[in-house]
A and B are shown apart, each in its own frame.
Chain A
Amino acid sequence: DTEVTQTPKHLVMGMTNKKSLKCEQHMGHRAMYWYKQKAKKPPELMFVYSYEKLSINESVPSRFSPECPNSSLLNLHLHALQPEDSALYLCASSQDNGINTDTQYFGPGTRLTVL
């Protein structure tokens, strides 16, 4: 099983809403990632969890709040977003047991629209 799943596939929210994105993998990977991708741009790293601890925060605004409840799950809590936060949000995971060979596997993404 080399699958990373993400829910929901699409999300439309207002600027005052609170919502969450979910990501799950059952490959035994110990690193999980959130990326943001705007149209016709490459993915940009937001957060990295390694062994369930936040290891990288790429200076992301506090209206995005990540959570890693266990080694298989990764959430991204959203609150008071702006229209410019509309994007494809990608989750990825990797084994994190050897940086030279560490392949990241991506989920299908959640298409977020902020009204």
Chain B
Amino acid sequence: KQEVTQIPAALSVPEGENLVLNCSFTDSAIYNLQWFRQDPGKGLTSLLLIQSSQREQTSGRLNASLDKSSGRSTLYIAASQPGDSATYLCAVRTQGGSEKLVFGKGTKLTVNP
């Protein structure tokens, strides 16, 4: 059974700092890994999707990497801003079975002005 872990559970940084969020998964037989952002009481916003054959994806100040063999992904946020404050969730789509997205519990990020 696929399990997804995100560390840390919460992170507080000053504005302008570069930061890294971590995601690990137990079953490396995945189709893709997706990073989402969720604001309190809101839906999820897709940030980046990395296919299993890819190593990284970039969008603006965000860069996500994937090391499938070790079961790890990182989300790098450059020059953080208060508007980046949210919960960041990673999710993997695992091969076999129902092929559903399995989510981590998220990292709650606070960027202080």
Contacts and interface: CB of A to CB of B under 8 A. Distances in A.
Interface string A81-101: 000000010101000000111
Given A99-B31, A99-B93, A111-B41, A42 B104 contact: yes
B83 interface: no
B43 A106 contact: yes
B99 A42 contact: no
Contacts of A41: 105
B51 A101 contact: yes
A104 B42 contact: no
A94 to B, nearest CB: 10
B43 A109 contact: yes
B26 interface: no
A56 interface: yes
Q: Chain A's interface: helix, strand, loop or mixed, by majority?
A: mixed
A74 interface: no
Contact of B42 (A103, A105, A109): A109
A92 B53 CA distance: 25
B31 A100 contact: yes
A53 to B, nearest CB: 15
B31 A104 contact: no
B53 A43 contact: no
Nearest to B46: A103
B69 interface: no
Nearest to A101: B51
Top 6 A-B residue pairs of the complex, sorted by shortest distance between their CB atoms: A42-B103, A106-B44, A106-B43, A108-B43, A100-B51, A109-B43
Interface of B: 31-32, 34, 36, 41-46, 49, 51-53, 89, 91, 93, 98-101, 103-106
30 contacts: A4-B43, A41-B105, A42-B89, A42-B103, A42-B104, A42-B105, A42-B106, A43-B89, A43-B103, A45-B98, A56-B98, A56-B100, A58-B100, A90-B43, A99-B31, A99-B32, A99-B99, A100-B52, A100-B53, A101-B51, A102-B32, A103-B34, A104-B101, A105-B46, A106-B44, A106-B45, A107-B43, A109-B42, A109-B43, A111-B41
